[in-house]
Amino acid sequence: MPRLIIDEREIEVPPGTKVIDAAERLGILIPRFCYHEGLGAVGACRMCAVQFVEGPVKGLQMSCMVDAQDGMVVSTSHEEAVEFRRFIIECLMLNHPHDCPVCDEGGQCLLQDETVSGGHGLRRYQGKKRTYRDQYLGELIAHEMNRCIHCYRCSRFYQEFSGYRDLGPLQIANRVFYGRFKDGPLESPFSGNLVDICPTGVYTDKPSRYKARRWDLQRTPSVCIHCSLGCNTVANARYREVVRVEARFSGEVNGHFICDRGRFGFPYTNLPGRPRTARTAGGECSQGEAVAAAAEKLREISSTFGPQAVACFGSSRNSLETQCMLKRICRLQGWQVPGFFVDPALERRVRAAVSLLDASAGVSMREVERADCVVAAGVDPVNEAPMLALAMRQAFRRGAEILVADPRPIFLPFPFIHVPVSMERMDSFLEGLARLAGESSDGTGVREADLLSQIVQNGGLASSDLPLPVSFCRALFGSQNPVVLCGTECVRESTLPAAAALARDLRKGRDRAGLLYVLPGANAFGAGLLNSQGHPGFSRLLESVESGSVRALIVTESDPLNDFCHRDRLLGTLGKLDLLVVMDFLDSETARMAHVFLPTTTHFESGSCFVNHEGRLQYAEAVHHGGIPIEQAGGGSHPPRVYRGDIPGEGPKAAWVILAELGRTLGIPDRDLLGLGPWSLIGEEIPSLKRLEGTVFPPEGIRILSDGDPVQWVQGPEARDGEDDRGAVPPGDFFEILLTHWTFGTEELSSRSGPLQKVEKEPYGMMHSDDARVLGFSEGDRIVLSLEGGQIRFRLSVADRMGRGVLVLPRHRKLAWRNIPEMPCFVPRDRIRREDS
């Protein structure tokens, strides 16, 4: 390990460390613009010059371009280096418009910092400044090119790192311009990172423009809850309003970046319509009164019909504390075991995924970046878990081969092999892949062709659907560090063990072969952990309500009416309840039906734990106290000048605290509830987490997967009892409907974001162009799908690279997908027709 001296202090760093990073380890921040740890070094700006006094490199050099080596003696304050940097910053400032007072970057601007640190305090240049015409880059990012210092960070992030192709450097020399071919919204769903990485104010966060200076903001480390990856963020609040979300570095999870869903998805917490007051049948009341009313009714139902007449329902957006408290109360009261998913099949898949992961197989996104071969089955990364696509791209940039097996049309920002296997044949495809990879091992290659045709047959594919698979199988076999990715949203339950088996087979003869499941929701993992036994499934729950054996339902931060397919049935069923208690921070449809409603806080207001897809327990700190945003309280002007002792709208409490209060009112001693404190609560409910009690919470979270324990530590779903053995394609001419997520517009929380609503696409359905031809449809046709539950109308888009016999529909609020009776759903072809025919 190289040892060197920087500014008279010695340090030892891993080989390959740049001098600029070695200095940073000593707490010396060498000025820089183009260098960014996530993007690497290019030496474009010349700002990081230091003097190499002794050792293998001599003289003035760029510290971002030189690897630390033994014997180096470096001075950052050498006269020559200081003079050089002063000159560079003066040059970079020649054309700067000096508009810091109206620039949102001001106060968090590297250019301001380096101008000061470089000692450039007097302007000597009197000439005309270069000016640019700014572009319209969409609703998320503002563009002010006059502030640019030509460091190339933006285009390197946009094109090299993330693989999108509509923003880059134009022109030459002094005229270099960073932008698009024409004005128009940026195509990348990662565009918000430009705001973070641009060292000046060229790209600023448009929705939060002119709202606050950095130093006016309350800032805390938070976690994104818009998908299961759990990217690390910084939440920023001011005047009782979350103003902005930024990426926070995490070595294991998201690296330096986040996606735009995570950055711009937060406004649900500020919405004017957000419920802040408790309600009972008699109208608005205090939290205490509402809790008392709920408790009274619950006691009555329990004593008349037995405690099993009370059921609870949570969701995968619940914090872990809430999930644990829900489970605890249900147990202590003898109520039904709580459920977290409206789709019983999805619930089983989540449990299967959680039970199949262990520390030796589960991988983080960082490990995906280092994979040299990736097989993705039934997962659409950009739409389901956007940052996973960027992790895969980093693997691709390091030379990994990537194959995606999925009947949906899949876009990824890099070349990959797409095999449109149907969901039904996915398992046999994965098995075939494992065998083929094994077969290639003996070097005979003779059976490859055989196996290949088997895979084609088993996978229900046309041979034209299989580009380069043999070469891929060789790559898979030759890989040192392969990773299997698997979705849970659209796949069959059996695909989860099939993916795990492929990873296990690949692990033979290798140190490592990773497995990553993309789960449905920020805390789906937590739901899976708590869900190991006893929950009957949402459909059974509905049946019990319909038959009258369940009379009361407590819905905690969950909106079944949003998630459940068969909407009319659910509306009817909820209407039958004697008591519907809803706790939520959303003004949801379910909440509006509640007999007792209790408003809750968001994770921006109450610190909460979430367990991400790889079983990493992460803590999101509260960023502010909550309450009605001052802008709303004052109608945009000064807030009302009335004296009061509380904060307007501070009524909501964390759902788990409300649950505990409900429990206490029902007679559970407090030492078993709030008295436990969050950590003991979690440890009590999830025995495998007991060992974590008292742990100091590390910044990178706690990986809770058991270490190489061969015994499954969480119970998977029990074997099916035959009757709900669904998922087999019925014989005849049917389309399978795949309900999918889109990056923007389908996820429950972020689809309430005003800025993202301006970005999302109008929903459309997709089918294979061959299928469309047979049905006589073409691109853009208006299609009606007639189901028992009602009709679904949508515009059709056709594609060649997708599976046949599937119809892909987004779970978009503007599309009546809730008319689908249940999933999986197969429809005969004659139920699909063009609107005019």
Partner 1 sequence: MLSDALKETLRGKIAQGEHPREHAVDVMLEIQKRCGYMSDEAMEEAATLLGMSPLELEELATFYDHIYREPVGKYVIRVCDSAVCWMHGHLSVVDHLTSLLGIGMGETTPDGLFTVLPVCCLGYCDRAPAMMINQRIFGQLTPEKIDRVIRRLREEASFDEAE
In the complex, which residues of this chain contact partner 1 (CB under 8 A)?
A: 165-172, 180-182
* CA contacts within 13 A on the Cβ side of 448: 16
Nearer to ligand FES, 40 or 509 (CB): 40
Least separation in angstroms between residue 36's CB and ligand SF4 is 9
Beta strands in 329-440 (DSSP E): 373-377, 401-405, 417-419
Task: Verify binding: residue 378, ligand SF4, rule CB under 6 A.
Answer: no
Nearer to partner 1, 53 or 170 (CB): 170
Least separation in angstroms between residue 150's CB and ligand FES is 10
Least separation in angstroms between residue 43's CB and ligand FES is 4
Least separation in angstroms between residue 790's CB and ligand FES is 60
Nearer to partner 1, 170 or 728 (CB): 170
Euclidean distance between CA atoms 249 and 266, whole angstroms: 19
β-pairing verdict for 702-703 and 616-620: antiparallel
Distant-in-sequence, close-in-space partners of 669: CB < 8 Å, separation ≥ 6: 675
β-pairing verdict for 373-377 and 482-486: parallel
Tokens coding 41: 């070094």
Task: Verify binding: residue 88, ligand FES, rule CB under 6 A.
Answer: no
Cα-based torsion angle of the residue sequence 701, 703, 704, 705 in order, rounded to the nearest 10 degrees: 170
Distant-in-sequence, close-in-space partners of 663: CB < 8 Å, separation ≥ 6: 325, 328, 329, 332, 333, 672, 673
Give the binding-site size for ligand FES (rule: CB under 6 A).
12
CB–CB of 476/437 below 8 Å? yes
Task: Please identify, among the stretches 33-41, 182-190, 459-467, 783-791, the one whose residues bind ligand FES according to the rule CB under 6 A.
Answer: 33-41
Instruction: Select from ligand SF4, partner 1, ligand FES, none the partner in contact with residue 32, using the beta carbon and a kind-dependent cut-off of 5 to 8 Å.
Output: ligand FES
Task: Verify binding: residue 234, ligand SF4, rule CB under 6 A.
Answer: no
Task: Verify binding: residue 261, ligand SF4, rule CB under 6 A.
Answer: yes
Interactions with ligand SF4, residue window 380-399 (CB under 6 A):
385-387
Which residue number has the CB closest to ligand SF4? 262
- Give the position of tokens 């806080």: 601
Interactions with ligand SF4, residue window 141-160 (CB under 6 A):
148-154
DSSP string, 122-190: S----SPPP--------SSEEE-GGG-----HHHIIIIIIT---S-EEES-GGG-EEE-SSSS----TT
Euclidean distance between CA atoms 540 and 624, whole angstroms: 40
Among 32, 613, 624, 653, binds ligand FES (CB under 6 A): 32
Tokens coding 484: 């299997």
Least separation in angstroms between residue 152's CB and partner 1 is 12
Nearer to ligand SF4, 152 or 597 (CB): 152
Least separation in angstroms between residue 169's CB and partner 1 is 6
Q: For residue 582, count other CB atoms closer than 10 A to its CB.
A: 29
Alpha helices in 666-791, H assignment, sequence order: 677-685, 754-759, 769-775
Instruction: Select from partner 1, ligand FES, ligand SF4, none the partner in contact with residue 64, using the beta carbon and a kind-dependent cut-off of 5 to 8 Å.
Output: ligand FES
Least separation in angstroms between residue 115's CB and ligand FES is 15
Nearer to ligand FES, 46 or 616 (CB): 46
Task: Please identify, among the stretches 40-48, 195-203, 625-633, 706-714, the one whose residues bind ligand FES according to the rule CB under 6 A.
Answer: 40-48
Euclidean distance between CA atoms 395 and 778, whole angstroms: 37
Task: Verify binding: residue 365, ligand SF4, rule CB under 6 A.
Answer: no
Nearer to partner 1, 171 or 304 (CB): 171
β-pairing verdict for 552-556 and 310-313: parallel
Nearer to ligand SF4, 45 or 455 (CB): 45
Task: Verify binding: residue 18, ligand FES, rule CB under 6 A.
Answer: no
Task: Verify binding: residue 33, ligand FES, rule CB under 6 A.
Answer: yes
Task: Verify binding: residue 57, ligand FES, rule CB under 6 A.
Answer: no
Instruction: Select from ligand SF4, ligand FES, partner 1, none the partner in contact with residue 170, using the beta carbon and a kind-dependent cut-off of 5 to 8 Å.
Output: partner 1
Nearer to ligand SF4, 606 or 746 (CB): 746
Among 81, 92, 258, 371, binds ligand SF4 (CB under 6 A): 258
Which H or E element spans position 579? strand 579-584
Task: Verify binding: residue 88, ligand SF4, rule CB under 6 A.
Answer: no
- What's the Cα-to-Cα distance from 756 to each of 162, 253, 303, rounded to whole Å? 20, 24, 48
Tokens coding 234: 């910084």
Task: Verify binding: residue 199, ligand SF4, rule CB under 6 A.
Answer: yes
Q: Phi-psi bin for 780: left (phi > 0), alpha (psi -120 to 50), beta?
A: left
φ, ψ of residue 793 to 5 degrees: the values are -110, 140
Q: Note the residues at the interface with ligand FES (CB under 6 A).
A: 32-35, 43-48, 62, 64
Q: Note the residues at the interface with ligand SF4 (CB under 6 A).
A: 148-154, 178, 198-200, 202, 224, 226-227, 229-231, 254, 258-259, 261-262, 385-387
